[in-house]
Copies of this chain bind each other. A is one copy, B any other.
């Protein structure tokens, strides 16, 4: 099962002693990056070799509880829907069993030179569907 773990470090924490929220979006982005690697299509291949990208169309985030220095967070990712060129996901960050945030991004698969949505290639669709079925 896919989990992206990271520890809250000094760089992530604001003067109030809790995570500075733009840092959460770097963690969310890194979770997406780790997840593509997990299903077998890392950003090195996707972006540099193949010229695709996955910018965000929308995102909704519900911040449940603050996180502090040294907390370990586990980020999990569910694919909630896949369209022709879009992927809807739910990313949950937990510290032990406490939910810290739930993010619902919609990623769009694009050809980078055009920044225009393109159909998700079949090989990648199959990897995502395998993940949805719990087979990766």
Contact = CB atoms under 8 A, between A and B. Distances in A.
Interface of A: 9-11, 13-18, 20-23, 25-26, 28-30, 33, 42-44, 47-48, 53, 55-63, 66, 69-70, 112, 115
A55 B47 contact: no
A11 B20 contact: yes
B59 A66 contact: no
B70 A44 contact: yes
A70 B53 contact: no
A29 B22 contact: yes
Counting every copy of the chain, the complex holds 4
Contacts of A63: 55-59
Contact of A33 (B9, B16, B62, B66): B9
Which label, helix, strand, loop or mixed, suits the secondary structure of the A interface?
Answer: mixed
Contact of A70 (B16, B42, B66): B42
A48 B15 CA distance: 9
Nearest to A26: B22
State the 6 A-B residue pairs at the shortest beta-carbon distance, nearest first. A22-B25, A22-B26, A44-B70, A60-B60, A25-B25, A16-B53
B57 A30 contact: no
A15 B30 CA distance: 15
A29 B56 contact: no
